Amino acid sequence: MFVDDANALDVQRTEITGNTAGFDGGGLMLYDLYGSATIADGKISNNTAQDGGGGGLELYDVKLTNVPGGSVRIERMEIADNKANYDRLGGGVLLYETENAGVVIEDSTISGNLAGVGGGVVSALTVGSPAPLLSRSTVSGNGALQAGGGVAVLGLDPITPAALAVIDSTISGNGATYVGGGILVGTGGYLEVEHSTVTGNEVGYAGGGLFVAYDAPAPKVGHTILALNNAPASGADEYSGAGEYGIPTPVDLSWSILGDSLGATVNSIVGNQIDVDPLLDALQANGGPTETHKPLPGSPAIGSGDPAVTGEPPTDQRLYARKVGVIDVGAVELNPGTFELLIDPTSVIEGGGPVAVTVTRVGGQDGAVSVELNFSNGAATNPADWTAPNAVVNFADNDAAPKVFNVAIVDDAAPEPDETFSAALANPTGGALLGVTTSGTVTIHDNDSLPVVEVPALDDAGKALLIGLVAAAAVVFLRRRKGMGTALIFTVALTAGAAEAGSGKPRHAAAARPPGSLAAQPLQGASAARSWRAHGGARHTEVVRVASIDAGNVTLLRADGSLLTVKLSLVKQGERGVHQGSLLKVNAKARLKLRVGEHGEILKAKLKPARR
């Protein structure tokens, strides 16, 4: 594909494969681009530039000087197995004579490409700001018949330079015949490498990891692993600087690991570990969009970066948090992750369920870790209401699969109010931490039929319980007063075997029974109308029903499924009736008035005969 003199380009989710160009740009060539471009989420593979460079992709004469904020972004791409001519540049990607183009290659894999110079990526005669950037990407298994197996930065002289910044990236397993197995910096080339790993590259002569030619400034390398590369002919496995007049060009090294200093001229600025094995695992999938080398347990790369570092990228190559404690050295920041707890559902009916309790590992998956999952009783107890054992939850290295534990919910025959139990995480190991949500509560709702409860008759001495009176009918009023707490008002009207909602006003009958002589009445399914007025607002009404009665409490079931329990006490006979209660009315023509506090306590009560 050849794009000439364009103002913009957007290539998304496209595979460009098996093409041949007579000269440059075997797969895709952008020539004289004067606007922003995006090439993303696709693949460029098995293309050939027969007599030119840029076997897979070439950007030629891309100038965005007059495009404020303009850039060329190559994102989440696989650029593989492309070829340039044996004496040409850039088997995978060639950036040639770009100016202020803001080229970014990010979250991409460039592998198996071949060229004369710069098997993977070449930045040649690239001027202006910002410099081309290789970010969160892996350049692996590329080859150069001459120099620069993985990456090459090539200028003509200091006046006509080239530049490249490598951040959060891996350059691994590349090879060249002569020099610069991993990276070649030619005359006038400016290179900066930060938070990256350059390892396993090989060359026939010198600079297995990095080679700098004469008349090039010293490359700047920080928080980077430059180790386990190979240059058998010279022994300069990691770094070699040709320099001029017999004076080698040094590498400016800080907070980095240099595996072998033989043949290397190093300007060791601060915090370096030299002649040290970084203890790296093989190149493989360790999370994120690209393959990486993860430090093994005990690696000197772990936590050996600058404790006071600033301006570091927000993530490592895998898109995991870059700084976990003291920053690591290399493209990978070890992160055991954090544990979170998810409970679904958090509300269940007796006999329903099961309730799924899920432990997740987020933010990292490095190393074997574990955490305790503990269940605890509330009003609901194990095994009477629910059943599940405590557990130690284990995650292997690179394991982020959620672990699910099912809690069985028991269906008993006893009518009861809502009950709860809880689950929580504790005692993480392996460097993992507890996250934000690490505990939760499950509510179990009763599904049993309500009992038939009879209201006992009140004797003249007034020793009967208020249970019968509240169970027969109740009005509770909601308001807030100084020192009084919250009051609730319910109104219930009962007939001789069923209940109907009352209005709060007594119904008249032919005759009224005197106080203290109410006959017992069944309360199965007795309904009530709860009435209240919001502060300065309209009156609201909610229908409730009697759920259960015991020796000292009556429990009312609200429309939303929640329960309200009212505490009861003994009443005594007064001159005008039984004094203790909130307004109740029954067809037997008795009224009881209860003021109930916010905690269910009875604040005031009074029972009188109904008005005629």
Q: Is residue 144 part of a domain?
A: yes
Do residues 73 and 41 make contact, with C-beta atoms less than 8 angstroms apart?
A: no
Name the β-bridge partners of 487. Answer: 479
Q: Does 326 map to a domain?
A: no
Residues 21 and 100 in one domain: yes
Tell whether 264 and 375 lie within a shared domain: no
Q: Tell me, what amino acid is at 126?
A: T
Tell me: do 498 and 379 sit in the same domain. no
Number of domains in the chain: 3
Give a yes or no: residue 290 inside a domain. no
Of residues 189, 308, 206, the one with CA closest to residue 254: 308
HSE, side-chain direction, 13 A CA sphere, residue 348: 23
Residues 559 and 417 in one domain: no
Inside any domain, residue 329:
no
User: So what's the pLDDT on residue 75?
Assistant: 98
Nearest to 502 by CA among 586, 591, 596, 559: 586
pLDDT of 536 reads 57
Note whether 418 and 538 are same-domain residues: no
Q: Tell whether 213 is covered by a domain.
A: yes
Amino acid in position 537: G
Q: Are residues 188 and 158 in contact, defined by beta-carbon separation less than 8 angstroms?
A: yes
Q: Do residue 162 and residue 268 come from a single domain?
A: yes
Q: Tokens 């460029």 identify what position?
A: 44
Q: Find out whether 367 and 397 touch, Cβ atoms under 8 Å.
A: yes
303 falls within a domain: no
If asked whether residues 430 and 471 sit together in one domain, one would say no
112 and 258 co-located in one domain: yes
Q: Please tell me the predicted confidence (pLDDT) of residue 130.
A: 86
Which residues form the domain of 234? 2-281
Q: What is the pLDDT of residue 45?
A: 98
Give the pair of three-digit tokens for residue 420. Answer: 């709860």
Same-domain status, 128 and 249: yes
Provide the phi-psi class of 166: left if phi over 0, else alpha when psi is between -120 and 50, else beta.
beta
What pLDDT shows up at residue 68?
Answer: 77
Mark whether 428 and 471 lie in a shared domain: no
Count CA atoms within 13 Å of residue 238 on its CB side.
Answer: 27
Q: Chunked in runs of 10, what are the mean pLDDT values of the chain (612 residues)?
A: 88 97 95 90 97 96 80 96 95 94 95 98 92 97 98 90 97 97 96 98 96 93 98 94 83 98 95 98 95 96 96 95 94 96 95 93 94 97 96 95 97 90 97 96 83 44 42 36 35 30 34 32 43 58 60 63 60 36 36 47 46 46
Helix then strand then coil, in percent of the chain rounded to 5, is 0, 45, 55
Q: Is the same domain home to 431 and 559?
A: no
Tokens standing for 409? 């919910």
What Å distances lie between residue 245 and 248, 359, 422, 527, 597, CA to CA?
Answer: 8, 64, 76, 103, 96
Task: Report yes or no on 310 lying in a domain.
Answer: no
Q: Which two tokens stand for residue 135?
A: 């970010």
249 with 100, same domain: the answer is: yes
Geometric angle at alpha carbon 332, from 394 and 317, rounded to 5°: 110
CATH number of the domain that residue 390 is part of:
2.60.40.2030
Q: Is residue 309 part of a domain?
A: no
The residues with which 201 forms a beta bridge, in sequence order, are: none
